[in-house]
A and B are shown apart, each in its own frame.
Chain A
Amino acid sequence: MTLALDGLTILAVCAGAFFFLAGTVGLLRFPDPLSRLHALTKADNLGLGLIVLGLLFQAGGLLAALKLIGVWLLALLAGASISQLIARTARPGGPPA
């Protein structure tokens, strides 16, 4: 049972690390700010989400697990609203009135 949980953890954390890799490559290589923002939100939401998912299998109790999910939910909420705000300032022609 522990072995299976460890395997799931390794799988999810590796997938999360891959999304951080993809986010960094996108942030460095994509041509314009809006597509770079797209790459960044993948790392923000999926990268952190998969790493949290992997750590959930190792969590000691319900409280610790809920706290990890709380961190992810806060990052989701902040990431979603901030992407909107950054896209407003980054879009060609400036922010709409």
Chain B
Amino acid sequence: MAEFMIAAAIFVLAMVALGLARILWGPSDADRIMAAQLLGTGGVATLLLLGEAMSVPAAVDVALILALLAAFVSVAFVKGVASSEADGA
């Protein structure tokens, strides 16, 4: 079972890494933040799978914190867009 979990974790991580090409291509900042959002969710899934495969219960706590921080990244992005538009930039 552990081998399957690790294989699934590697697959999810590879998918997320492919999605990061969107950060390079853009074209808008919203597209880039979407790829970062996918990295956050994929990271949570990878952590949960690896924690189960390697019997590390603390990985669930790390996944919880990563989910929280990934949410704050996007909130900071939206706040930044709103304030830069208020400046007339």
Chain B contacts of A10 at CB under 8 A? 4
**Interface size of B in residues (CB-CB distance below 8 Å):** 43
A82 touching B71, Cβ below 8 Å? yes
A-B contact count (CB 8 A): 130
The interface residues of chain A lying within 8 Å CB-to-CB of B4 are 10, 13
Over the window 61-76 of chain A, the binary record of Cβ atoms lying under 8 Å from chain B Cβ atoms (1 yes, 0 no) is 0001001101100110
Q: What residues make up the interface of B, taking CB atoms closer than 8 Å to A?
A: 1, 4-5, 8, 11-12, 15-16, 18-19, 21-22, 28-31, 33-35, 37-38, 41-42, 44-45, 48-49, 52, 57, 60, 63-64, 67-68, 70-71, 74-75, 77-78, 81-82, 85
Using a CB–CB cutoff of 8 Å, the interface residues on chain A facing chain B are: 6, 9-10, 13-14, 16-17, 20-21, 23-24, 27-28, 33, 36-37, 40, 43-44, 47-48, 51-52, 55, 58, 64, 67-68, 70-71, 74-75, 78-79, 81-82, 85-86, 88-90, 94-95
